[in-house]
Chains A and B, each alone.
Chain A
Amino acid sequence: MDAKLDLTYVNMMLQDYKQKRGALIPVLQKIQEYYAYIPEAAVDLIAEGLNIPASEVYGVITFYAQFYTHPRGKHLIRVCRGTACHVKGSKTILEIIKDKLSIKEGDTTEDLLFTLETVGCLGACALAPVIVIDGYYYDKVTAQKIDDILNRLSQGNELQSHT
């Protein structure tokens, strides 16, 4: 658990919801919006603040696809590891990204900017190798292209519709 995590927002928001019925899901949505995930420490605060057992809070979090219990980056990078992309060098692409971001697949960078995931096959084999960032498809990715994209995103620039 991250000891440095500032939970002021959780406490503040719980004040608004304390007396309201059916508050759990809206509260979780707000917390996730703020922190980009539901921190473990927040779960105990929610449980206490809304007078709901922590087991139930956790049950709700894990039931709905919208909620995450681990921090996720602002940008989600998915590298296709389907066969076509593999043949076209997606493993190297993945290694380059891992190296550049210093994370493993499934992890998130410390600055919470990027989450790296791999996917089976995106069905865009003719465009291989493919990566998808925040829903935008990047085709025929090269090391140079990745450098450009990551630099652009690191500088806070938004993505443009690409292909």
Chain B
Amino acid sequence: MKKINSREEFDQLKKELEMLYNQNKKRIIVCKGTGCTASGSVKVIEAFEQEIERAGLSDTVEIKRTGCHGFCEKGPIVAILPEDIFYQQVSVEDVPEIIERTIRKGDLIDKLLYQDPKTKQKYVYTHDVPFYAKQKRIIFHHNGLIDPTRIEDYLGFGGYEAFVKAIFEMTPEEVIDEVKKSGLRGRGGGGFLTGLKWEFCSKAKGKPKYLICNADEGDPGAFMDRSLLEGNPHLVLEGMLIAGYAIGAHRGYIYVRAEYPLAITNLKIAIAQGQELGILGQNILGTDFSFDVMIKEGAGAFVCGEETALMASIEGRRGMPRPRPPFPAVKGLWGKPSNINNVETFANVPFIITKGSQWYSEIGTEKSKGTKIFALAGKVNNTGLVEVPMGITLREIIFDIGGGPPKGRKFKAVQLGGPSGGCIPEEHLDVPIDYDSLISLGAIMGSGGMIVMDAANCMVDVARFFLEFIQNESCGKCIPCRIGTKRMLEIVTRITEGKGEEADLELLQELAEGIKATALCGLGQTAPNPVLSTLRYFADEYRAHILEKRCPAHCCIALIKFEVDVDLCKRCGLCKKVCPAGAVSWMPKTAASINKSLCIKCKTCIENCPAQAII
């Protein structure tokens, strides 16, 4: 692309591209996010290309490879524009039929439509599918429309408009003010006011100033940042450019997990395109604002999501957090004033600048504005990424968007915020979600992981899982996290093995509160949350493990007897069929029985038993 040197050239280019994208052309949109790629979308794209070529439709039909649509469970996803027809789980074999019937004749292909597993209703259009209907897709809006590897696509849909508005029409102070008024809070977990953070950094003495994008998304179960970077990298770059202008930084770093290769590839392409076009680099669009972005790849340490550890890692040191003050805004990267925001936070910024803080602050609750992206997973029908306005209830997300637990199983709890968060039970599902309400329920917004659990999930085991994660990822610097979470893990493990004692609960509580109050960084301070929240809502389960040596969810192996309850047994023989060890004996019309000397406790029978008769 030719370099553009002024606002006029930018406006001209934009006008051309917008016209190009406003043509009422048929577009076949194929998701090329990590999820759909894993389920075969690359082959589907190739098939479409060949088929369109063969059908002689190359001039009238366009194929778009886009980023993640969020509904990863049903991938590969294909959408057909302008009608917005939604096809799911499309295979290579379906492609000729789509071209022939849908593209040429306008017919729908019934088997590719989404069917609600509960109501059995089928849906034609994307915006009607229950998974999308209750969402408010602002940040994700373009993810399903544009090819992330083409800056033209982004520009054609209004991209970089906010940045141009900021540098030509606003002073840095006005930009900060607008972001402050919008009420945007950090999407990485802490929920600190973004505009205020920018203001601290902009007022800090010292030069140069650095801007850092935290893309070290490490919470198990959260992948919205990956999806944004893969599907719309220019949106994140635009947010960074605006922030850089606001705080007076000329160099930005994006710290990305090495585990996200596609995100890194697409970012590199986006940066190169931005430099070529003159949106990044020296004297952008003829102004005296210069800004460039570098990618730093992480090396496999969860704790580097903590901002001081992240900066140490960029500097090439061990990612060990340090005490604050001094805050990064005063003394950050290389000892210079630095501002760190996460990917989703930056992605919010262009919308605030284009549409105004007034528009933005009308979305959400009093203290939490805008939308939030959640990664919905676990025991729920529709897993994927959902963007919802703050203030929506958990019930709406889990049951209306997510379709509730599969196979009509009973909902038990939802885990929010990953290893720093907590489990919320049924009785609190109607609380409107915002930063503060979640904290008061013992969870956190975190980066937005949302894992649904049903009756087969043991809450003690969930707590143990997260403690194990934290123990593996603790940097080892401060005593409460290094030794404290280790001792907590040991106690919880003992409980799941039936070796717990009554005094353990009190000790766990004391350790949890102590670690929360004394650990050095956010990772350690929040590490006890999964234990505290399960102790708060599911103390009965802990007690059942300790006092009755029983796991109510039939999950903890040491507490399962591996015996058949003759009264519950339906005499179906499924357990015998699935047992890999040949330990089950069963004859038609008789109850099964398990030979304990052969049983290897793999739980395959329990998972398959339709009557939960194995205790």
Binding site for B on A (CB under 8 A): 21-26, 28-29, 52, 56, 59-60, 63-67, 82-84, 86-88, 125-126, 128
Contact = CB atoms under 8 A, between A and B. Distances in A.
A127 to B, nearest CB: 8
B525 to A, nearest CB: 21
Contacts of B314: 22
Given A22-B315, A60-B318, A125-B604, A84 B299 contact: no
B317 A56 contact: yes
A46 to B, nearest CB: 11
A24 B296 CA distance: 12
A67 B299 contact: yes
In order of increasing CB-CB distance, the 8 nearest A-B pairs are A65-B300, A125-B602, A24-B316, A64-B299, A66-B300, A83-B600, A63-B318, A66-B299
Nearest to A61: B299
Of B300, B580, B603, most A-chain CB atoms within 10 Å:
B580
A19 B235 CA distance: 32
Contact of A84 (B301, B315, B318, B581): B581
Contact of A65 (B296, B299, B315, B317): B299
B334 A21 contact: yes
A60 B296 CA distance: 15
Contacts of B316: 21-25, 52, 60
A1 B346 CA distance: 47
Contacts of B34: none
Interface string B277-321: 000000000000000000011111100000000000111111110
Interface of B: 258, 296-301, 313-320, 334, 475, 578, 580-581, 598, 600-604
Of B300, B320, B578, most A-chain CB atoms within 10 Å:
B300
10 contacts: A25-B297, A28-B299, A52-B316, A60-B318, A63-B319, A66-B300, A67-B299, A82-B602, A125-B580, A125-B602
B254 to A, nearest CB: 14
A59 B299 contact: no
Contacts of A67: 299-300
Contacts of B320: 63
A96 B24 CA distance: 63
Contacts of B296: 22, 25-26
B297 A29 contact: yes
A21 B601 contact: no
Contacts of A59: 318
Of B296, B299, B317, B603, most A-chain CB atoms within 10 Å:
B299
Contact of B600 (A22, A26, A87): A87
A82 B314 CA distance: 40
Nearest to B320: A63
A25 B299 contact: yes
A128 B319 contact: no
Contact of A88 (B297, B301, B317, B580): B580
Contacts of A60: 316-318
A29 B299 contact: yes
A125 B299 contact: no
A19 to B, nearest CB: 14
Contacts of A65: 299-301
B283 to A, nearest CB: 24
